[in-house]
Amino acid sequence: MLNSQPSQPTSELSSQAASQTVSAAVAKLYDTYPFPPEPLLDAPPPGFNWRWNWLAAYNFCTEQKPVKQNIRILDAGCGTGVGTEYLVYLNPQAQVVGIDLSAGALVLAKERCQKSGVAADSATSRVEFHHLSLYDADQLEGEFDLINCVGVLHHLPDPIRGIQSLAKKLAPGGLMHIFVYGELGRWEIKLMQQAIALLQGNQRGDYRDGVQLGRKIFSALPENNRLVKREQERWSLENQRDECFADMYVHPQEIDYSIDTLFELINASGLEFIGFSNPRVWELERLLGKAPELMERSQGLSDRQRYRLIELLDPETITHYEFFLGRNPLPQNDWSSDQALLAAIPERSPCMDGWDSRCLFNYDYQIINLTENEWRFLKACDRNSQQPEQQTVEQILAGVDLGIEGVRSLLNQQLILLTPLFQKFT
């Protein structure tokens, strides 16, 4: 009897086989050198990354506090669980799921969360791990409000398939944070990768040999060699660890992006591009601000053309792209109306280190010095969050001489979160 099932084209089968070969090579690398190689602690992780804090990330993307905090988070390509651990601690009401291709890395991820106080995979745990590739995310139950995918898509043989797989799991009103490599800022890295591969020959895939070989090359090159200087200026401190050196220089699969190819990837996801999560890097003023005539000429450029101009003018800085995507419906407030701002309910941002000092680190770990009235307003926000009848911005300003522009300054610095008054009563 003839098989009634249609057979797959030979090209599709060979493509799948090639993809599986690459995936196996990537898994072997991270089983050999689990990454990231951060130490396991018997306490919560230090500091924070605001992009992993649902309140701060949602506020950055929508300019308002989210309605709910009991969300589901997916750490897609969690590795040894460094980001996963932060996602659990920074989002105390969230359920967190980590997936990764490397079984060895997942062993460390589970141990990391157990040691720091999270009983991974127990009945009461808020975190669980699954040995899955990004392509197989559809095997996970339900949808996720926040998907974190840092340093993973560029290591897939088919990143578009990967991002589409994740996009299908993003809930309406959800956010996805992504980090992928940029080709211009990693030019020297690509050259060294190719040099190591040439000298390894048929030993390519022996990652320990690749690391030893790469270190010998750097030691042999002249001090003024461009590859050596770039390594020393930018990467050498972290690359003292073999895990980091291997991830950078002997990885079996890497796709680096430009602005043009990046937006091809973003468009393929079917999600909305919200913005880069390091927005200061993408301000043209920092490069051409001294030339008003050039800034005037740039006014006719689209956002994407302006991004391309920035990476062309400052290639060393653009080593990667980090950005948020979203699935509608997502609110968007600009607080340009004084009336709307005065009627909002303010709350101090959870992402600041050193509070309640007047000199502290902000969400991006930059030192800021608060004025007396800024400090008093933030103190009032703290008290406000503990009261059943919360005050509006206008009510707090009645007792604090800051002014509405001062409130806008705190908002622009992401030192406060706002809840629209109408949302408070819905």
Which tens digits make up the pLDDT trace of 171-192? 999 999 999 999 999 999 999 9
| Tally of residues, the chain | 426
Decide which of 105 and 16 is more confident.
105
Return the pLDDT at 197.
98
Same domain? 99 vs 124? yes
Same domain? 345 vs 227? no
The 8-class DSSP code of residue 353 comes to B
Split into its structural domains, the chain has a count of 3
Name the 3-class secondary structure at 251.
Answer: coil
> Rounded CA gap, 197 and 213, in Å?
10
Return the pLDDT at 426.
46
Same domain? 78 vs 145? yes
Return the pLDDT at 123.
59
Q: Which two tokens stand for residue 258?
A: 């430009």
Average the pLDDT over each of 15-24, 48-57, 77-86 and give the range with the smallest value.
Answer: 15-24
Burial class (CB in 10 A: 0-12, 13-18, 19+), 199: middle
Omega prior to 36 cis, within 30 of 0: yes
Name the 3-class secondary structure at 130.
Answer: strand
Average of per-residue pLDDT across 409-414: 96
> Has residue 27 been placed in a domain?
no
Return the pLDDT at 1.
36
Q: Which two tokens stand for residue 282?
A: 């993408």
Measuring CA to CA, which residue among 248, 252, 212 is closest to residue 29? 252
Same domain? 270 vs 400? no
Average of per-residue pLDDT across 265-293: 98
> Has residue 356 been placed in a domain?
yes
Average the pLDDT over each of 51-55, 133-137, 290-294, 332-336 and give the range with the smallest value.
Answer: 332-336
Same domain? 59 vs 130? yes
Same domain? 86 vs 165? yes
Return the pLDDT at 423.
61
User: Is the pLDDT at 124 greater than 80, yes or no?
Assistant: no
Q: Using pLDDT thresholds of 50, 70 and 90, give the confidence band for residue 114.
A: very high
Same domain? 206 vs 148? no
Which of 276, 291, 326 is a domain's end point? 326
Contact call for residues 368 and 375 (beta carbons, < 8 A):
no
Which of 297, 326, 355 is a domain's end point? 326
Same domain? 79 vs 215? no
Q: Are strands 95-100 and 72-76 parallel, antiparallel or unpaired?
A: parallel
Q: What is the mean pLDDT of the chain?
A: 94
User: Is the pLDDT at 13 greater than 70, yes or no?
Assistant: no
Which of 230, 249, 268 is a domain's end point? 249
pTM for this model (two decimals):
0.94
Burial class (CB in 10 A: 0-12, 13-18, 19+), 293: exposed
Task: Say how far residue 269 (Cα) sits from the centre of its chain.
Answer: 17
> Has residue 121 been placed in a domain?
yes
> Has residue 19 been placed in a domain?
no
| Residue 49 φ/ψ, nearest 5 degrees | -120, 115
Given the structure tokens 């005050």, which residue do they identify? 391
Which CATH number do you get for residue 78? 3.40.50.150
Q: List, for residues 320-338, the tens digit of each pLDDT value.
A: 999 999 999 999 888 999 9
Q: List, for residues 345-382, the tens digit of each pLDDT value.
A: 999 999 999 999 999 999 999 999 999 999 999 999 99
Q: Which domain holds residue 228?
A: 187-249
Return the pLDDT at 36.
97
> Has residue 293 been placed in a domain?
yes
The 8-class DSSP code of residue 41 comes to -
Given the structure tokens 């200087």, which residue do they identify? 229
Measuring CA to CA, which residue among 331, 332, 295 is closest to residue 313? 295
Q: Are strands 320-326 and 272-276 parallel, antiparallel or unpaired?
A: antiparallel
Q: Using pLDDT thresholds of 50, 70 and 90, give the confidence band for residue 112.
A: very high
Contact call for residues 152 and 76 (beta carbons, < 8 A):
yes
Return the pLDDT at 125.
85
> Rounded CA gap, 83 and 45, in Å?
10
Return the pLDDT at 3.
43
Same domain? 54 vs 144? yes
Residues 6+ apart with CB under 8 A from 303: none
Same domain? 304 vs 342? no
User: Is the pLDDT at 385 greater than 80, yes or no?
Assistant: yes
> Rounded CA gap, 399 and 379, in Å?
12
Average the pLDDT over each of 16-25, 99-108, 265-274, 297-306 and give the range with the smallest value.
Answer: 16-25
Decide which of 16 and 79 is more confident.
79
Alpha helices in 356-413 (DSSP H): 372-385, 393-397, 404-412
Same domain? 177 vs 199? no
